[in-house]
Amino acid sequence: MGNSDQPVSVVGAGVSGMTTAVVLAEAGIEVEISSAMPPRQTTSAAAGACWSPYLVNHERATEWSEVTLAILAELANQDHTGVRIVGGIDASRVPTAAPNWTEKLNSFRLCHQNELPGGYLVGWWYEMPILDMPVYLDYLAARLARVGVEVQLRKIDSLHDLARDRIVINCTGVGARELCGDDLIMPARGQLVVVNNPGLTTFFQDCEEREEDLLYWLPQGDHVVLGGCTSRDSGSLEPDPEVAREIVKRCARIEPRLAEAKVIENRVGVRPSRKEVRLEEEGNIIHNYGHGGAGVTLSWGCAATVLELVKELGVAHRV
């Protein structure tokens, strides 16, 4: 059982950790959250990001993603959340069917051939939540601050030591490989380019299963996020200038207005790729990591499951 005199400790301040802390704190549970780096320096801050079950596997992934989708749709109607609902196209140069999860999204329909860029055979239009991650993480931090919770900047060397007198929620992402000795965690390095928006209002994603040369853009108001690449077993956070140039070049072949768009920044993050999300109890520790490229997509659903597990263990409530 958890010690009722101690707060629940969330470790990790990426989107999974921040969302979990919000859900626990707003349920009246005494919470603290700690991280080796502030939210805007986590992998989550470097994400695109959009609601999309990408690089993820778990029998409850659909359930968790649907919970998250409903909440993000609500947040898109509020100011200063960084969430907006945007329409756009997924397309493929080879015959393929739309994934099952598109059925959950508004305005889904197959595209007519004249709607697709040259060389693309099939595609589908739909609307999905797109998130400006730095703004979104600030929004989550503000929700925590309203209930008196601030991110504590400190490195946790042992979850088990911390869990001797409290419940610990492990949301350390790729850091769980070292912290938990979890060799199933594989770093998946992603790189994006952020440019001034030359007037794009819809997204585009090439949905073929390539990792080194992904092709998509996500408009986020006055800027656009261009992607991307995924490099397995790489943990480097240094932007590769050649990769950045190739990302812009691929996107500009489809949307020429992007060719001359001013580059604002390059983003690099390391996704916590794992053959299956780990969300389970281990004594006083609840693990919530290994979300791959779907940290945002699963965040609210996984946090709700963590809340259920915390209640079973017994917790301290705020007075």
Annotated binding residues for D-dopa, as ranges? 216, 271, 293
User: How would you label 34-69 residue by residue, b for 16+ Cβ within 10 Å and e otherwise?
Assistant: bbeeebebbbbbbbbbbbbbbbbebeebeebbebbb
Which segments are annotated as binding site?
A: 43-44, 172, 216, 271, 292-297
Q: Please name the residues in contact with 58: beta carbons below 8 A apart, sequence gap of 6 or more.
A: 64, 276, 277, 279
Instruction: Extract the annotated binding site for FAD.
Output: 43-44, 172, 292-297
